[in-house]
Each structure stands twice: as C-alpha cells, then as structure tokens.
Amino acid sequence: MKKSLLIKPFLTKSYPAASYGSGIYIYDTEGKRYIDGSSGAVTASIGHGIPDIIGKMEEQSKKISFVYRSQFTNSPAELLAHKINEAVNSEENYWSFFVNSGSEATETAMKIAIQHFQEQGLFQKNKIISRWMSYHGITMGSLSLSGHKLRREKFVTLLEDGPNAEAPYCYRCSFHMEYPECNMMCALDIERAIKRAGNENVAAFIAEPIIGAAGGVIVPPPGYYEQVQEICKKNNVLFIADEVMTGFGRTGKMFALEHWTSEADIIVTGKGLSAGYAPIGAALCKESVLHPVLNGSKSIMSGHTFSANPQSAAAALAVLDYMNKHQLIEKASLQGKYLFRKLKKLKQSTPVIGEVRGKGLLAGIELVCNPVSKKPFPRKAAVTERVINKAQQKGLLIYPATAGERGYEGDAVIIAPPLIVTRKEIDEMMTILQAVFQELLQELC
Ligand code: PLP
C-alpha cells in the first residue's frame, strides 16, 4: 500500500480500514468485527447496510443526483420538509433549511435568528448566548458558541465571545447546590448572561437539550427547559435547540426537548436525520420566526452548493420511513431502559464509574478517580482514550467525551448503539465493557 495522504484525526496513528457494515456491526478489511456501540459519532442510528435505504438512494440516483437550489427545487427535499414538519411535536409549522452537516445547520440557525430581528429593524439584536460544556459544531461561528475547550483552544483568537452561561450539570453543580433547593440557578444564569449582554443585543440562546460530547451526556433536571423558554420569551430572545446528536429518536422521543414541555423556535439537526447514509443536516424554523423574512427580504442569506441535495434528501426520507415502519423510537425507549439497568449494575462493580446518565439509547459514563469526592483523573492519565482503545481492541466501538467542571479535564464515554439493537446485542456489549473496566481497574489499582 502506498503512503497514506489522507488527513485523519491523528496523522501518524494507524486506523483500521472499514470494509462493510451490517446491522450494528462493522467489519474491517482484515475481517475483524466491531460492534458499533456508538453508531459512529452517534449517527448510524438505524444500523448499517439496510437494503431499503440503499434501494431508495439508487432509485433517486437513477433520476437525478444533483440540482442547484437557486435553479430547481426537487421532490425528495420538498417531501422531506413535510415529513419533518409532521415529526415536530408542535401546533406550529416548522420550515426546513437543508445543509450538509450539523455545524452548517448551527450556522444557518444563527443567521436565521439574526435575520429574524434585522428584518424588524432590530439590527443590534445579533448576539447568541450559549452554555459551557456544549458543542455546536466545528466551523468558526458554531465553534464560537461551543464550550468545548479542546476544540476551541487553538482558534480562540478568531472566535466570537465564548459561551456565557453555566451548564445544568447536577453531578458537579457550578453553584455547589442541589436540585431542587438550587432553584435552578443554572437556568437563572442564562438570564444573567442575557442581561449582561443587554437583551436588546441578544438574538438567541442555543443549547443541546441533552449535552453530548462536551459533557458525557448531561440531562438537565425537570422544569429546566420550561424555565429556559420562559426566560427567552421574557427577553424577546429566540430559543435554538441543537438536536444534532439527540434528534430523530436517539433519546426515545423524536426530539429530546419533548422530555420537557418546551418548544424551540429553531431546531438544529444532522447526524440521525440520514443515519449516516448521506451527508445532510437541517435548521428547522418555526413559521412565526420566518414571518419577518417572508414579509421583508423574502430570502435567508445563507446556503450551500449541496443544500437540499436530492440524493441526500432521498436517503433521509428513506431513513424516516424505515424508523416509522419499524417503530424505532419506541424501541429506543424500551431497549434504553434495558441498557441503563445493565450500565447501573456495571457501575456497582466498577469504582471508577462516577455516574451513568442519559435517556433512551444515549448513555454517558463519567469516570472518576474517587466516586465519593468525584475527583477526576489527571488528564495525562488519558483514561477516556484508554477505555476507548481497550474497547476497540475487544471489538466494541464507543465514543469519547469530556466531562468535569466546564468540561475541562474530566473523563467520559458515550454508549449509543443503533436504535435497532437487540437485548442480546446489548448483553454482548456489556460483556466487553465489563472486561474493559476490569482491565482498567487492574492497571489503575
Ligand atoms: N451539534 C452537536 C450537538 C453535535 O454533537 C455535533 C457533532 O458532533 C455538531 C453540532 C456538529 O455536527 P457536524 O459534525 O455534522 O458538523
């Protein structure tokens, strides 16, 4: 094999080459089988190699694979926008702006929010408030909003003002308080951040309903998003829910915000929208948010060459149909309960597991030096990386996350198998995880 010229996450590390996938399994070119225990980057939510999806994509490619959105609309994209609108649990219509990734969807949401106010003559209202322990994307705008130290630090001079509010991280509360006596200081901190910036300058607040990679799956307490929505309304600030990781059934609901009785003005999506079968993301925007634009310039000033791509839209449509046909959201909720029972049992026999948390089939495991003091491991111990590598060696793929105060030095991993996972397959994952932690404990103790 010639020298690799492909830029991979670590240039000098060798990665197995994927050959093919089937259901929850991926096979490399050496014939080794891996359980896709994290659906890649929490993406391949219906599993690999599903003939229904491949068939629909082939059908579309025989018609047309690309049209430019300024010249044509196309029926897969139109139909997908309708199906997504039906899937959002709201009285109001949500319009879809299709892009190619979660990061682009965040950028689009930011622009829609800013334009919403500009078209009303409120040109100053252009700041977006976000929280620490958050990840909204790798492009400069979305990274500006992201409280993920590692992904920010090299570019910090180019980024806008960073996150402004504390995360709802009850395991290590920034205010050293306990729910419910805390009065949800973390929600009030968002209002404080809006006030600090001046609400006349703030267009939107963005949050992942359940924090993913930048916190190791953090579920805010009951009532949190109801309060957040109230704060946003009171301050004439739009609420953007980043459902890139949590959307399309991952947490046992179509969108994670449904676990609260709260509604977002704009929903950012990606990953599970096409379950990895094609690159696509979308900013879903309430009709009322679009009204000033519909009555004004009539154009959202954004878009990409591949926006509303018919091939990607056909893949996403097929995925949505497949999810409905096989009731995968209900299955995620059911199998999730089983997974959490097993993970909580694993915690009892594993002193380095500080907390197991999550919803549906999105589970986070935070790893600590001491479960009583919750002291994190030093970063140089690279505990997350060791767990990930050991699992991969044993044929289980899991996803790294950061945890700890403001996501700075703590260790966490994410378990998020495809929503088609069976109990038997969960048992198989658990056997490997047990062996991984036994080995880790032997090394650490
Ligand atoms: N938002 C969240 C919550 C994410 O988890 C991610 C990716 O991990 C993104 C945005 C960015 O999506 P993408 O990697 O598709 O650009």
Centre of ligand 1 to C-alpha 207, Å, is 12
At residue 444 the predicted structure's pLDDT band, cuts being 50, 70 and 90, is confident
pLDDT at 36: 98
Ligand 1 nearest-atom number relative to CA 134 = 3
pTM (global) more than 0.95: yes
Q: Are 316 and 273 in contact (CB under 8 A)?
A: yes
Residue 62 is encoded by which pair of tokens? 């025989």
Tell me if 122 CB under 6 Å of ligand 1: no
Instruction: Report which ligand 1 atom has the smallest distance to the Cα of 279.
Output: 15
276 ligand 1 Cβ < 6 A: no
216 within 8 A of 343, measured Cβ to Cβ: no
Centre of ligand 1 from the C-alpha of residue 26, in Å: 22
- How far apart CA 249 and CA 362 sit, in angstroms, is 10
Is pLDDT at 403 greater than 90 in this prediction?
no
Is the pLDDT confidence value at 148 over 90? no
pLDDT of residue 267: 98
Q: Which residue has the tokens 């309960």?
A: 337
Atom of ligand 1 nearest to the CA of 139: 16
Output the pLDDT for position 406: 74
Segment 43-57, tens digit of pLDDT: 999 999 999 999 999
ipTM of the shown complex: 0.99
Whether residue 120 has pLDDT greater than 90: yes
* Predicted local distance difference test score (pLDDT) of residue 161: 77
420: its two tokens? 């088609």
**CA-271 nearest atom, ligand 1:** 15
For 158-206, how does the pLDDT look when each residue is reduced to its tens digit (9 = 90+)?
Answer: 898 779 999 999 999 999 999 999 999 999 999 999 999 999 999 999 9
Residue 212 Cβ < 6 Å to ligand 1: yes
Asked if residue 102 has its Cβ within 6 Å of ligand 1, the reply is yes
Amino acid at 439: E
The rounded distance, in Å, linking the Cα atoms of 205 and 113 is 10
Q: Give distance in angstroms: CA of 169 to centre of ligand 1.
A: 20
For the chain, percent of residues with pLDDT exceeding 90: 93
pLDDT at 442: 93
User: Which pLDDT band, with edges at 50, 70 and 90, does 224 fall under?
Assistant: very high
Q: Using CA atoms, how far apart are residues 165 and 7, in angstroms rounded to an integer?
A: 35
Pocket test for ligand 1, best of 136, 140, 414 (most atoms within 8 A of CB): 136
Does 23 have pLDDT greater than 90? Answer: yes
Does ligand 1 lie within 6 Å of residue 37's CB atom? Answer: no
pLDDT at 394 over 90: yes
CA of 105 to the centre of ligand 1 (A): 9
Residue 315 Cβ < 6 Å to ligand 1: no
Residue-level pLDDT at 405: 75
User: Ligand 1: which residue has its CA nearest to atom 5?
Assistant: 245
Summarised one tens digit per residue, pLDDT across range 330-389 is: 999 999 999 999 999 999 999 999 999 999 999 999 999 999 999 999 989 999 999 999
Q: What percent of the chain has pLDDT over 70?
A: 100
Average pLDDT over all residues of the chain: 96
Categorize the per-residue pLDDT at 149 as very low, low, confident or very high, splitting at 50, 70 and 90: confident
Q: How confident is the model at residue 207 (pLDDT cuts 50, 70, 90)?
A: very high
